[in-house]
């Protein structure tokens, strides 16, 4: 029961942040799955990817209705992202859980610092 409540809370928080900031899937879901639901790093990252899709579809629908989506950029980046996603999914299996956590933490720190000085 507690796991269900924690899962629902993680979903609500990540959905809210995704809708407001266009982010939150990985930044909220991965650490929450690992810390609160004790999901191993590989599964946490893979699970987060599968959760992000429905969150993104809902947010994109509302953004699109408001005319806020650049469709040309969406198509170019999406097609390129598919190739990157394929490569990343293959590469993930080769990394240890500790390495995944370190790479994830460093990327979040770099992203946060870039946002402070942008």
- pLDDT tens per residue, range 10-31: 988 888 887 777 676 678 888 9
State residue 24's pLDDT score. 64
pTM of the model: 0.69
Chain Cα centroid distance, residue 12: 14
The answer on pLDDT for 4 being more than 90 is yes
Q: Which residue has the tokens 């029961």?
A: 1
The answer on pLDDT for 84 being more than 90 is yes
Residue 61: pLDDT band with limits 50, 70, 90: very high
Q: Is 24 left (phi over 0), alpha (psi -120 to 50) or beta?
A: left
State residue 19's pLDDT score. 74
* Mean pLDDT for the chain overall: 88
Rounded CA-CA distance 90/25 in Å is: 20
């Amino acid at each position: 029961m507690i796991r269900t409540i924690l899962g629902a809370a993680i979903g609500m928080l990540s959905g809210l942040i995704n809708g407001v900031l266009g982010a939150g899937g990985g930044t909220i879901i991965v650490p929450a799955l690992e810390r609160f639901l004790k999901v191993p790093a590989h599964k946490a990252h893979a699970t987060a990817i599968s959760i992000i899709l429905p969150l993104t579809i809902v947010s994109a629908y509302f953004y699109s209705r408001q005319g806020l989506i650049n469709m040309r950029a969406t198509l170019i980046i999406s097609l390129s992202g598919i190739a990157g996603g394929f490569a990343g999914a293959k590469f993930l299996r080769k990394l240890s859980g500790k390495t995944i956590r370190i790479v994830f933490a460093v990327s979040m720190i770099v992203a946060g610092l870039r946002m402070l000085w942008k």
